[in-house]
Amino acid sequence: KSEQFSWDDYLKETESIAAPLHCFKQSRIPPTNDFKVGMKLEAHDPRNVTSVCIATIIGITGARLRLRLDGSDNKNDFWRLVDSSDIQPIGTCEKKGGMLQPPLGFQMNASSWPMFLLRTLNGAEMAPAAFFKKEPPKPAANCFKVGMKLEAIDRKNPYLICPATIGDVKGDEVFVTFDGWRGAFDYWCRCDSRDIFPVGWCSLTGDALQPPGNNVSITKSSAKIQSSPSKVTRRSMQSPQKSAPVPAQRGRKPGRGKPPGQSTV
């Protein structure tokens, strides 16, 4: 399918409604993203939230920043909204009497941290305070209802935002289910989570909303054309889209008698 995903069509097709804006802890109009790749800021270490660390903006996506903690590896990048309370301008921590900390898994000897920090900040391009936006207020109550549609971050692939449905509601929490993925990516979160967005969010921020997975429950009309609906829908719809099979051997076909040698790619 090459057609673009349309919420209007999808809501009609699935006979469902979008969760109202006031359910979310998100601003009605997504905040503008003025940040630039390479700028530095302070961020709470996602793996050790009491630590405030130096982070570098590695990428920009919609109203979010892809961040990497200085002194950490490239395997623990994380994404934050520009109005997240987890990020702040450089200098904020010190102003509050705190001390910047090395990230969990600091790649150098702990004793080299003070010098590392000095060098990291020296001549760094610091994100201006005006770029940080105020966190939106909390929703008054959990007003999500089972079946409501939304856009949600895939926590296993946090750069992705996908169509989702509220699968359950319990107290202040909601169960976020990903349409067409058979539960593999579903999670519980608080109703005021910053990882869930109202329908239409991505089109406002310019983010690419992922299309729903392949495993959609088949409608009655299309089931009729299947030879054995119950089996076909269950089986053929089981595995999500797989990328094209990877050839066993990369690069040149090994010539007869010649060893493959080193890859040139």
Q: Which residues here bind ligand MLY, judged by CB under 6 A?
A: 154, 157, 160, 162, 178, 181, 185, 210, 240
- In the chain, the amino acid numbered 135 is E
C-beta of 63 vs 162, nearer to ligand MLY: 162
Name residue 224's beta-bridge partners.
none
Shortest reach from residue 156's CB to ligand MLY, in Å: 7
- In the chain, the amino acid numbered 142 is N
Shortest reach from residue 31's CB to ligand MLY, in Å: 24
CA dist., res. 129 & res. 152, Å (int): 28
C-beta of 116 vs 181, nearer to ligand MLY: 181
Shortest reach from residue 154's CB to ligand MLY, in Å: 4
- Coil, helix or strand at residue 189: strand
34: which residues sit within 8 A by CB, 6+ positions away? 82, 128, 130, 131
CA dist., res. 187 & res. 173, Å (int): 10
C-beta of 105 vs 240, nearer to ligand MLY: 240
Burial of 29 (0-12, 13-18, 19+ CB in 10 A): exposed
Shortest reach from residue 178's CB to ligand MLY, in Å: 4
C-beta of 132 vs 181, nearer to ligand MLY: 181
CA dist., res. 43 & res. 126, Å (int): 13
Shortest reach from residue 185's CB to ligand MLY, in Å: 4
C-beta of 33 vs 210, nearer to ligand MLY: 210
CA dist., res. 24 & res. 30, Å (int): 12
